[in-house]
């Protein structure tokens, strides 16, 4: 009888520890929380879904985000951009639809923006140039320091902002 009691007590302690560990894990802030923004630009509803990494004291451009390489423009899954109607991005046509959004930053401050036909990708690991729907080039800008990556949609397009850089994208 005493052995059964000890076994039951040990099981209760184990269950309590597992429950406490699970509850603590649920309250932990994700390393790169997911976010989205939606607004109407040029008569089209634009929605951007992304993972928002933090700087955390790291050097972002040129190291965490290497120059001259395709980057997912966020964290975790590739950033996705949905447009309800055909639009013009930097003067070039983009049909209505959902796209993965990638960028290629350069040390000179220009950014190649890529709208990829395969919106469901993990990072840029399976990116193929043959899936590009549209590529455009923009000039990045220096911006006040911002710890987390964000996208903001405005009446003329959207901006990607992180660390000390901003990438403005024109939509008509």
Neighbours of 98 (CB within 10 A): 15
67-71 contact pairs (CB < 8 A, 24+): 67/105, 67/106, 67/107, 68/104, 68/105, 68/106, 68/107, 69/104, 70/102, 70/103, 70/104, 70/114, 70/124, 70/127, 71/102, 71/103, 71/104, 71/105, 71/124
Percentage of the chain exceeding pLDDT 90: 76
- Name the residue with higher pLDDT: 43 or 3: 43
State pTM to two decimals. 0.81
pLDDT in tens, 32-60: 899 999 999 999 999 999 999 999 999 99
Give the dihedral of Cα atoms 142, 146, 150, 153; nearest 10 deg.
-50
Which ranges constitute the DSSP H helices of the chain? 2-27
Say what the pLDDT of residue 124 is. Answer: 86
pLDDT at 6 over 70: no
Say what the pLDDT of residue 16 is. Answer: 46
Average model confidence (pLDDT) across the chain: 88
Return the structure tokens found at 162.
């992180």
Say what the pLDDT of residue 121 is. Answer: 87
Mean pLDDT of 56-77: 95
pLDDT in tens, 87-127: 999 999 999 999 999 999 999 999 999 999 999 988 888 99
């Amino acid at each position: 009888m005493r052995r059964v009691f000890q076994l039951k007590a040990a099981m209760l302690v184990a269950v309590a520890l597992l429950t406490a560990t699970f509850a603590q894990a649920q309250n932990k802030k994700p390393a790169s929380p997911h976010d989205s923004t939606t607004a109407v630009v040029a008569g089209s509803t634009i929605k951007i879904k992304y993972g928002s990494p933090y700087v955390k004291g790291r050097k972002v451009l040129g190291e965490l985000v290497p120059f001259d390489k395709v980057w997912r423009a966020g964290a975790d899954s590739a950033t996705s951009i949905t447009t309800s109607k055909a639009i013009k991005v930097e003067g070039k046509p983009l049909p209505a639809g959902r796209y993965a959004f990638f960028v290629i930053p350069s040390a000179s401050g220009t950014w190649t923006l890529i709208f990829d036909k395969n919106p469901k990708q993990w990072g840029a690991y399976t990116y193929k140039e043959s899936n590009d729907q549209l590529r455009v080039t923009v000039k990045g800008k220096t911006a006040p320091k911002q710890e987390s990556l964000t996208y903001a949609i405005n009446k003329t397009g959207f901006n990607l902002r992180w660390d000390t850089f901003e990438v403005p994208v024109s939509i008509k």
